[in-house]
Every structure is written in C-alpha cells, then in structure tokens.
Amino acid sequence: MDNALPCIRNYIAGELATPRARAALLDNVNPASGQVYSQLVDSTDEDLQAAVAAAQSALPGWRAMDIAARARHLEKVADLIERDLDRFAAAECEDNGKPLALARAVDIPRAVDNFRFFARAITQFASESHAMGERAINYTLRAPLGIVGCISPWNLPLYLFTWKIAPALAAGNCVIAKPSEVTPKTAALLAETCIEAGLPAGVLNILHGRGSGIGNAIVTHPDIKAISFTGGTATGARIAAQAAPQFKKLSLELGGKNPTLVFADCDWDKTLDGVLRSAFANQGQICLCGSRIYVERSIYADFKAALLQRISQLRIGDPLTDVDQGALVSAAHMHKVLGAIETARAEGGEILCGGQQRQVDGRCNGGFFVEPTLIEGLPLDSQTNQQEIFGPVATIQPFEGEEQALQLANGTGYGLAASVWSENLSRSHRIAGRLDFGIVWVNCWLQRDLRTPFGGMKNSGVGREGGWEALRFFTEPKNVCIDFG
Ligand code: NDP
C-alpha cells in the first residue's frame, strides 16, 4: 500500500468515510500511462451495513419531501457538476482513457442532463385513474420502493452512474450506488458535489470496491428492494439468479452485438460518418456500438474502401491531446480485445486494418491502446460475429436484399440496438419493425432523447430505462378502487 497516493473514499451518511485501518485498498490505474495514480476502498459488509442504516434513517424525510423541493436538490447537483465540468472531464479521461474532448462534450454534460431531466420529469409524473362508469373509480398510487441499489460499468462512468441515481432519487428512494472499481473517480467527485449541494445525509451513499465483493453484497442485501444494473450479460445473469429468490425488482442493461445495415440508397457521406462513429466511438467501448457492419452488395467494394480510408485517418494517442481514440480501460481489457482479434484470425477472418496494440510514445508509453480494426470474411455463426468484443473491432460483410439483411442482423443472441442507413422511407419503416432490437436508429446512431425507452431484448437485458420507464421502475404501483354505486 503506497500511502503517498490519494485514496478514493466511500460516501456514507452525507460524509466521506475514513477507511477503516485494516481495509484493503485497490489500485487505480491510468489506462493511458499504465501507472497507478490513486487507490480506492474495497468496501466490506460493514460499510454496506453503515450505508443501509444511513439510507433507512434518511428515507422517511426524503420520500415525504415536497416534490418541488426534492427536484431542487437534484437541480443543485446538476448545476454544480456543470460548474465543475472541466474537473469532472479531466477525472473521467484520467480514469477511463477516453479522449478529454469526448468527456467534455458527451460524458459530463450528459450527467448534468440526467439530473436535470429527472428533476423536471418527477414534477410531471402523474398517477393514472380508471373510471368504471358511474359505479366506481380506480386510482394508482406510485410510492418509492425504499432503498435501491445502482451498479454501473466503466465505459461511460458518470454518464451511466447518474442515469440510474437521478431517477431513483427523483422518485423518492434512497440509494446505495457502486461504480466500477476500474473507474471510481467521477463517482468520488459526485460525492463531494452532493455534500456541497446540501443533499440530505444518507439519501445517496456511494460504496467503492469489487463487483464480486461489495457489488454482490448489495445485490443480496434483504433491505435493498431493487437493483438497477448495467454491465456484462454474464454478470447480469448472475445478479438475476441471486436477486430472484428475494423477488427484487430488476432492471438489467447488458451487452450488445449490434448490426449496422447500409443500403445502396443511403446518403453516402452521412452514412460513412455514422458507421465510423458507431463502430469506434469511445474506443468501441459502448454497449450500443455497431460492431457488425452489413453493406448491400452493389456498393460493398466502394463502401469498404471509403470506410478503410476514413479509419486510416483516425488519430489514436494521448487522450489529453486532440485525438479520436484514446486508451482502452485496462490492461486486462486490452488483452481480452487482442485475444478476440486472434480468435478472428484463427476463424479465417481477414484483418483489413489494425489488429494490434498501438505503441504511443512519451507519457503514454505504457498505455493500453489498440488500433481500430476491421475484419472481413467471417460467417454469422463465427465467435467473432456472435460474441461482444467491446473494443475498436468491427466486422464487415455484404448482403443481398432486405430479407438477408434482416436475417444477418437478427442472427445473434443479443438485441440491444441496430442502425439502418437508407433514404428509402418505406424500407426504413419496414426494416425497423422487423428488427429484434430494443433500439433502432435510422440514418443516425446514438441520437438520444431521454424521454424514450432505453434497453435491450434477448440477452441484452430486461426492462427499460429513461423517461417514465425509469420512474415506473423505481416506484411501486398500488391501485385503490372506490365503489360509489
Ligand atoms: P461487468 O458486468 O463486469 O461490471 C459492471 C458492474 O457490475 C461493475 O460495477 C462491476 O464491478 C459490477 N459487478 C461485477 N460483478 C458483480 C456481481 N457479482 N454482483 C454485483 N455487481 C457486480 O461489466 P463491465 O464493467 O466490464 O462493463 C462492460 C459491459 O457492460 C459490456 O458487456 C457492455 O455491453 C455492458 N454495457 C451495457 C450497457 C447497456 O445499457 N445495455 C451500457 C454500457 C455497458 P467491478 O467493475 O468493480 O468488478
């Protein structure tokens, strides 16, 4: 344990908790340099008990608080994150390896939007009523669940963390939240922000540490009524199995193997830009990334050549500089991605570009960079086309006609997101209706309206986030039927 390194602490009962003397600390690595730059608490059951106790005492006041007052608390948090945008963006870049410009333009503004959106949404969240003629009326109360658990991954750390925390708090719950142990820093800054914003103590508690340790403890704690989880499909399955015997409410946003369908009648430049971004944004580490690119045969050769040309122009390197692609999140993840490329080679795939680790000189000498990689010639049932790689790796393949496009697109166990690129309106509607995915983008990718349902089908998860879906998830409906006949 290196005492010179700063230590990321838990946020419990409105305070940053002093790590217990014997608490084990985990190292936190900067993926762009490969250097350990801070440490974090590896929370224990004792920390969880303290957090649950704090949440229990905060709950009556928070759930009874006037909605406008609760919303003002969330607005205040949003305002302070916005004020400190540069600090948050620098932390996200340092922790995750993503380009600083991306964190500034996307991750942190979206965290601000998450708090603002749900602060406003809760003021419009109304109960339904169902009249039974002149005989009776039903109305539905939606009460907060109580204490809920929010567990998020490392790819969009603050963005996804707050996407869960904000609606949970807005709906009147108290929250025990755990960020990924690989990217804890912006969650730690959020704790400082909540203290400054005067969020009542115990309403939000943030515990750091390993998923298999404190994450698992949160999932199985009997006083935690619901789990909102975003992460890998295997972890989601484990969580579902553990939570089911306690009948916890579950929202699972899991992996994807998303298809990109390019038709000959697409808008050429717009499509190339969109396909490039969808395959490689955030180093390909977005659950929504289009990692299977299918192109109509009549334009296949030209489109492939133009895409390869654009890939060759991507700038990879120090995320603090003006680059398109930074480092992958960890050495372990980089090796997993490089292993997947080796599998593609072994399966007979042709690596059209990339395929290797990229050495970056200077301060990033020890960083985890992988070249953007495009692979051709693999069948649908190959491991490469079936399993999520979650890195800057995509496959490309021609198709003939709508039926084959649909068959290829729908032919995996995942069902998170698809994009369709065509100027033919009828075709776009037809295809969108038949794609087995929770989200379909036509002539765009990752265009988000926070009111819309967000989530996947099949192995990509259960439930939807966003808008009313999130507020319904974080509340328990109770129907009251009054007979006046
Ligand atoms: P993991 O499933 O490994 O981890 C996600 C979170 O769960 C982390 O905080 C992790 O902690 C925690 N965790 C791990 N094991 C357990 C457990 N047994 N009980 C409770 N919590 C646990 O995913 P990654 O962090 O590797 O994230 C990448 C995955 O997330 C990809 O598959 C990606 O597709 C998916 N994802 C899905 C999205 C969606 O909306 N559908 C969006 C973004 C990503 P720790 O990190 O400390 O181990």
CA torsion sign for 213, 218, 222, 228 is: negative
Which residue in 371, 312, 359, 391 sits closest to 154, CA to CA?
391
Per DSSP (E only), the strands in 319-465 are: 350-353, 373-376, 393-399, 414-415, 417-421, 439-442, 457-458, 461-462
**Is 27 in a helix, a strand, or coil?**
strand
> How far does residue 250's CA lie from ligand 1's centre (Å)?
15
pLDDT band per the 50, 70, 90 thresholds, residue 485: confident
- For residues 61 and 70, give the distance between their C-alpha atoms in angstroms, rounded to a whole number: 10
Question: Is the per-residue pLDDT at 23 higher than 70?
Answer: no
CB pairs under 8 A, 24+ apart, for 212-219? 213/42, 213/43, 213/44, 214/42, 214/43, 214/44, 214/47, 214/48, 214/178, 215/151, 215/178, 216/242, 217/45, 217/48, 218/48, 218/149, 218/151, 218/176, 218/178, 219/149, 219/151, 219/243
> How far does residue 287's CA lie from ligand 1's centre (Å)?
11
- For residues 133 and 259, give the distance between their C-alpha atoms in angstroms, rounded to a whole number: 49
254 Cβ below 6 A of ligand 1: yes
- For residues 453 and 30, give the distance between their C-alpha atoms in angstroms, rounded to a whole number: 34
250 Cβ below 6 A of ligand 1: no
> How far does residue 235's CA lie from ligand 1's centre (Å)?
7
> How far does residue 164's CA lie from ligand 1's centre (Å)?
14
Q: Mean pLDDT across the stretch 366-374?
A: 98
Task: Say if residues 201 and 54 touch (Cβ distance below 8 Å).
Answer: yes
232 Cβ below 6 A of ligand 1: yes
pLDDT in tens, 306-318: 999 999 999 999 9
In Å, how far are 334, 383, 394 from 387, measured between CA atoms? 16, 6, 11
Question: Is the per-residue pLDDT at 21 higher than 60?
Answer: no
Can you give the pLDDT at residue 35? 97
Can you give the pLDDT at residue 275? 98
**CA of 460, closest atom in ligand 1:** 41
416 Cβ below 6 A of ligand 1: yes
pLDDT band per the 50, 70, 90 thresholds, residue 194: very high
Nearest C-alpha to atom 39 of ligand 1 is from which residue?
Answer: 253
239 Cβ below 6 A of ligand 1: yes
Can you give the pLDDT at residue 2? 47
The pair of structure tokens assigned to 274 is 């969109």
To the nearest 10°, the Cα dihedral for 162, 168, 172, 178? -70
390 Cβ below 6 A of ligand 1: yes
Which residue in 116, 147, 118 sits closest to 228, CA to CA?
147
**CA of 465, closest atom in ligand 1:** 40
Strand 417-421 relative to strand 439-442, pairing: parallel
Mean pLDDT of the chain: 97
Nearest C-alpha to atom 30 of ligand 1 is from which residue?
Answer: 231
> How far does residue 211's CA lie from ligand 1's centre (Å)?
8
> How far does residue 181's CA lie from ligand 1's centre (Å)?
10
Burial class from Cβ neighbours inside 10 Å (0-12, 13-18, 19+) for residue 32 reads buried
Of the residues 287, 448, 469, which should be mutated to test ligand 1's pocket, given the most ligand atoms within 8 Å of the CB?
287
Nearest C-alpha to atom 22 of ligand 1 is from which residue?
Answer: 211
**Is 205 in a helix, a strand, or coil?**
strand
Strand 35-41 relative to strand 147-151, pairing: unpaired
Task: Say if residues 373 and 353 touch (Cβ distance below 8 Å).
Answer: yes
**CA of 210, closest atom in ligand 1:** 47
The pair of structure tokens assigned to 104 is 């500034």
H helices present in 129-267, as ranges: 157-170, 185-197, 216-220, 233-243
- For residues 425 and 90, give the distance between their C-alpha atoms in angstroms, rounded to a whole number: 42
Task: Say if residues 281 and 446 touch (Cβ distance below 8 Å).
Answer: yes
Can you give the pLDDT at residue 24? 83
Per DSSP (E only), the strands in 15-154 are: 15-16, 25-30, 35-41, 129-132, 136-144, 147-151
Which residue in 331, 346, 258, 262 sits closest to 299, CA to CA?
262
95 Cβ below 6 A of ligand 1: no
Nearest C-alpha to atom 37 of ligand 1 is from which residue?
Answer: 254
> How far does residue 289's CA lie from ligand 1's centre (Å)?
16
In Å, how far are 221, 319, 437 from 233, measured between CA atoms? 21, 29, 15
- For residues 321 and 363, give the distance between their C-alpha atoms in angstroms, rounded to a whole number: 12
Q: Rg of the chain's alpha carbons, rounded to an integer?
A: 23
> How far does residue 232's CA lie from ligand 1's centre (Å)?
5
Q: Which residues are catalytic?
A: 253, 287
Question: Is the per-residue pLDDT at 191 higher than 80?
Answer: yes
CA angle 425, 427, 432 (to 5 degrees): 95
Can you give the pLDDT at residue 18? 84
**Is 33 in a helix, a strand, or coil?**
coil
Q: Give the count of beta carbons closer than 10 Å to the beta carbon of residue 35.
A: 12
Question: Is the per-residue pLDDT at 20 higher than 80?
Answer: no
216 Cβ below 6 A of ligand 1: yes
Task: Say if residues 280 and 325 touch (Cβ distance below 8 Å).
Answer: yes
Which residue in 279, 275, 260, 282 sits closest to 306, CA to CA?
275
**CA of 234, closest atom in ligand 1:** 2
To the nearest 10°, the Cα dihedral for 85, 87, 93, 99? 50
User: pTM of the prediction?
Assistant: 0.96
Q: Mean pLDDT across the stretch 448-462?
A: 98
Nearest C-alpha to atom 40 of ligand 1 is from which residue?
Answer: 253
Question: Is the per-residue pLDDT at 422 higher than 50?
Answer: yes
- For residues 190 and 398, give the distance between their C-alpha atoms in angstroms, rounded to a whole number: 46
Q: Mean pLDDT across the stretch 335-341?
A: 98
Question: Is the per-residue pLDDT at 299 higher than 60?
Answer: yes
> How far does residue 149's CA lie from ligand 1's centre (Å)?
14
219 Cβ below 6 A of ligand 1: yes
**Is 458 in a helix, a strand, or coil?**
strand
Burial class from Cβ neighbours inside 10 Å (0-12, 13-18, 19+) for residue 434 reads middle
Nearest C-alpha to atom 32 of ligand 1 is from which residue?
Answer: 232
Percent of the chain with pLDDT over 90: 97
Q: Mean pLDDT across the stretch 410-419?
A: 98
Question: Is the per-residue pLDDT at 22 higher than 90?
Answer: no
Which residue in 162, 173, 175, 142 sits closest to 70, CA to CA?
173
- For residues 484 and 350, give the distance between their C-alpha atoms in angstroms, rounded to a whole number: 73
Of the residues 151, 291, 416, which should be mutated to test ligand 1's pocket, given the most ligand atoms within 8 Å of the CB?
151
